[in-house]
Amino acid sequence: MTNDEILAKLREKYPKVVVDTPELIDFTVVVKSEALTEVATFLHDECRLDYLADVTAVDRPERFEVVYHLYSVKNQTPGPFVLKVYLEDKGNPKVASVTPIWRGANFQEREVYDLMGIAFEGHPNLKRILLWEGFPGHPLRKDFENRTFTFKELEPTRPKPPDW
Amino acid sequence: MSEEQLVEEQLKRNIFLTTVDAVYNWGRKCSVWPMAFGLACCAIEMIAAAAARYDFSRFGMEIMRPSPRQADLMIVAGTITHKMAPQVLRLYHQMAEPKYVLAMGSCATAGGPFPSYAVLQGIDELLPVDVYVPGCPPRPEALIEGFMKLHDKLMKQSIKTVPWYQKEPAR
């Protein structure tokens, strides 16, 4: 099944969910964030896109975008089927987690939560994965001041050692 | 030759007069046991320095102890991230005196090519470093020169003034 066929089937099944198909390097489909779980289940079961290669996020001036790169191992699709979700609320961005559908999303979503601050509802273990829980800020956002820290500065933010 | 002269000759060949400092430092210098503490790419060069071509077993250092309790020298080889930094400090505190720290590579010296939110800019924010070996990564020969500088520093220490034998606590 080529990417166009998948898009046609998606439009047929869920008529109002596709927001946009922008002309980017890879074949991209933008869906509404509320419909993400249904679309993901559809893509996994009906269209056999069983390999989630990547989950990342983009910080644009007016919105966040969460990007999923999907491949099909059975059908050997050449390029990724890129699924995007636009999150308009920059103050409190959250989206449903696709970990129940693709297990590989577990660590990837934790990384996006750690570095961009986007919360994934339904994730089994949403903790920071590269930095620690008290670290000030989310580094890959555009409004994070990119500077070095000294050890003394970060010392109060570290988790307290257990009180033996 | 008379018996006295024979004995005198044998004595000249077999008895040395030296200082306590020289023997103490010579013993310490020829058996510095490094702690295997490779964090990143500099670890590969440290391993290369330990391997056959640039052997540091010539200096008595081939026993790279994995445990800090048994090591004398901590070679901080590689980038120290902020997440790892408290553990590095913890391992340093677990080493017994006399202990030395060698900062290998530019990441351990000054953060290296990473002026980033996640990288500690040089291990000397946390630990007292004795020798810095710059390079990215430093060649095994450069690391061995670092060891030789450490040996020079070590030989200059006198048993009367070393910090671990003083009355007050060391550092």
Banded model confidence at residue B62, pLDDT cuts 50, 70, 90: confident
Question: Which of helix, strand or coil describes residue A19?
Answer: strand
| Best to test chain B binding among A130, A148, A152, A155 (most B CBs inside 10 Å) | A148
The confidence score (pLDDT) of residue B7 equals 86
Q: Are A102 and A37 in contact (CB under 8 A)?
A: no
The confidence score (pLDDT) of residue B77 equals 92
Searching chain B, which residue's CA lies closest to the CA of residue A144?
A: B117
- CA of A7 vs chain B CAs: smallest distance (Å): 41
The confidence score (pLDDT) of residue B170 equals 57
Cβ within 8 Å, pair B83-A144: no
Phi, psi (rounded to 5 degrees) for A54: -155, 140
E strands, chain B, where? 34-35, 73-77, 100-104, 131-133
Compute the radius of gyration of chain B from its Cα atoms: 20
The ipTM of this complex is 0.77
Model confidence at B137: pLDDT above 70: yes
pLDDT along chain A (164 residues), means of 10: 83 83 86 90 87 91 92 82 90 90 91 92 89 88 88 86 79
The confidence score (pLDDT) of residue A66 equals 93
- Chain B residues with CB inside 8 Å of A130's CB? 83, 118
| Best to test chain A binding among B87, B114, B117 (most A CBs inside 10 Å) | B117
pLDDT digits (tens, 9 = 90+) for A52-100: 999 999 999 999 999 999 988 888 777 788 999 999 888 889 899 999 9
